[in-house]
């Protein structure tokens, strides 16, 4: 019998806690609770959850601080809960290492879908070592890190070095939002972290080349005001 995955719910509102525990339990997950940032970090060590659902507004510390401290020692997946008017908070949380966010008020179906996507094994990355580990696949697209080549249905796609690096950065983190800042820092360096218009131009070029090669470039999903997310084709 497969073990149930454990979700750590971090929220100081009892009503939200009860709602999430009921929904997660009904969907086949086990749950554990924390109402403070310190309690969340302690629960990670004590209970070893599979994922954390984290509200940014905690009584003892900001949720961003929780993520920052967590990332010093753990890659535990984190889904952030935040209000609609906390756009910059969401971006900062993602830059610090959160995997995804859901805006309050939210539909439980959306949260569960994000949770499943975050917990899903990365289908884009080939397992193993050596050449196998250097190959990423998504639908009929394949990317070789070692050869710095991209093919669609076996045919080569000619990309510039920056376009290749941009595609690689997205493919390495399927189903996860990669913020504008994260992409700009990785592909162009710290001098260009504010050049969002520049990034949009390159994303447009990359989408066009993939479409022309026969790959559905809608796999590169725009997260308005925040960044981009790679969605595997069905």
Average pLDDT over residues 139-144: 94
CB of 91 closer than 8 Å to CB of 179: yes
As a whole-number percent, the residues of the chain with pLDDT over 70 amount to 92
Average pLDDT over residues 96-110: 88
How do residues 211-231 score in pLDDT, each as one tens digit?
Answer: 999 999 999 999 988 999 999
DSSP characters for 85-99?
T-HHHHHHHHHHT--
- Distance of alpha carbon 108 from alpha carbon 122, whole angstroms: 23
More reliable by pLDDT, 116 or 126:
116
Predicted model pTM: 0.72
Mean pLDDT of the chain: 89
131 has a pLDDT exceeding 50: no
How do residues 189-203 score in pLDDT, each as one tens digit?
Answer: 988 888 999 899 999
- Distance of alpha carbon 119 from alpha carbon 16, whole angstroms: 22
- Distance of alpha carbon 89 from alpha carbon 140, whole angstroms: 36
**Residue 203 pLDDT:** 96
Beta strand pairing call for 78-83 and 51-55: parallel
pLDDT band at 120 (very low <50, low <70, confident <90, very high): confident
More reliable by pLDDT, 122 or 154:
154
As a whole-number percent, the residues of the chain with pLDDT over 90 amount to 67
More reliable by pLDDT, 105 or 170:
170
Average pLDDT over residues 138-142: 94
- Distance of alpha carbon 65 from alpha carbon 80, whole angstroms: 12
**Residue 220 pLDDT:** 97
How do residues 20-40 score in pLDDT, each as one tens digit?
Answer: 999 999 999 999 999 999 999
123 has a pLDDT exceeding 50: no
Please name each of the domains of the chain with its CATH number.
6-119 (3.40.50.2300), 135-230 (1.10.10.10)
Residue 139 dihedral angles phi and psi, to the nearest 5°: 60, -130
């Amino acid at each position: 019998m497969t073990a149930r995955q454990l979700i750590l719910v971090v929220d100081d509102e009892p009503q939200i806690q009860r709602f999430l525990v009921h929904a997660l339990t009904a969907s086949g997950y086990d749950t554990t609770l924390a109402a403070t940032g310190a309690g969340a970090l302690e629960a990670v060590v004590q209970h070893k959850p599979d994922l954390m659902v984290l509200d940014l507004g905690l009584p003892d510390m900001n949720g961003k601080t929780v993520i920052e401290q967590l990332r010093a020692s753990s890659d535990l997946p984190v889904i952030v809960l935040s209000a609609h008017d906390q756009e910059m908070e969401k971006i900062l949380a993602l830059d610090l290492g959160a995997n995804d966010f859901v805006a309050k008020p939210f539909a439980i179906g959306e949260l569960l879908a994000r949770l499943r996507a975050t917990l899903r094994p990365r289908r884009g990355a080939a397992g193993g070592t050596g050449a196998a580990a250097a190959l990423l696949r998504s639908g009929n697209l394949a990317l070789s890190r070692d050869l710095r080549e991209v093919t669609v249905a076996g045919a080569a796609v000619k990309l510039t070095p920056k376009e290749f690096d941009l595609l690689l950065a997205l493919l390495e983190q399927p189903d996860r939002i990669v913020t504008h800042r994260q992409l700009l820092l990785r592909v162009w360096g710290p001098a260009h972290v504010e050049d969002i218009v520049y990034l949009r131009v390159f994303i447009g070029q990359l989408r066009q080349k993939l479409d022309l090669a026969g790959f559905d470039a809608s796999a590169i999903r725009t997260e308005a005001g925040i960044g981009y997310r790679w969605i595997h084709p069905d």
